[in-house]
Structure 1
Amino acid sequence: MLNEVIFFDTLRQGLWIAVLVSMPILTVALVAGVSIGLVQALTSIQEMTLTFVPKLAAIVVVFWLSMGFMTHTLVSFFQSRIIPLIVGG
């Protein structure tokens, strides 16, 4: 039987894993957005694709580079926490 303490601890740990997994992508999106916005403000170029394309490219590159970390983190969370709860252990 799943009591409230185990449920809320698993939920808290799952939210922390979600933060850890999304941190590289969100950090790169923030840095790329601020730097491109600064370049646009300095040069007075107001082109919408100038913000979208480089940010998307940076996010895809970082996602590709951090896929191993994300997969390992999620698999270890599921193997150590979720699957034993499903099985009943």
Structure 2
Amino acid sequence: MNSDVVLGIAKDMIELTLFISLPIMGIGLVVGLLVSLLQSLTQMHEMTLVFVPKIVAVLLGLLFLLPWMMQKLVFFTQNLIVNLPQYAR
């Protein structure tokens, strides 16, 4: 196993991590921006009004996206295990 193979696997892992985590972070970002806009329009600056909707939105996003995330992770892991003999050369 040379350094090119290791770097390729590491690159694929980082890409997969970003690909899986970006939708959840995007949901949190959009909800945070919408709540901040609503707070600035109504001039209500309460911290729990930002925190609670973000938590609920991220949890709902995880609820709906978790099967897709697990499918991607399992496929990557299976591919890694199947190709392990080729990597060991």
Assess same fold via TM > 0.5.
Answer: yes
Residue in 2 that maps onto 1:9: 8
Amino acid at match of 1:21: I
Residue in 1 that maps onto 2:85: 88
Please, what TM-score do these two structures have when normalized by structure 1? 0.90
Residues in 2 aligned to 1:43 and 1:9: alpha-carbon distance in whole angstroms: 50
Residue by residue over 1:33-88, the C-alpha shift from the partner in whole angstroms, topping out at 9 and shown as x without a partner, is: 0000001111110101100000000000000000111000000001102x246x53
Residue in 1 that maps onto 2:35: 36
May I ask how many residue pairs the two structures share in their alignment?
86
Residue in 1 that maps onto 2:72: 73
Please, what TM-score do these two structures have when normalized by structure 2? 0.90
Percent of residue pairs identical? 30
**Coordinate RMSD, CA, aligned:** 1.2
Residues in 1 aligned to 2:53 and 2:29: alpha-carbon distance in whole angstroms: 12
Residues in 2 aligned to 1:62 and 1:24: alpha-carbon distance in whole angstroms: 8
Equivalent position SS for 2:44: coil
Show structure 2 runs of 5+ residues with no match: none
Q: How does 1:20-35 map to 2 (within 5 A)?
A: 20-35=19-34
Residue by residue over 1:9-56, the C-alpha shift from the partner in whole angstroms, topping out at 9 and shown as x without a partner, is: 000000010011101101100100000000111111010110000000
Residues in 2 aligned to 1:3 and 1:84: alpha-carbon distance in whole angstroms: 18
Residue in 1 that maps onto 2:17: 18
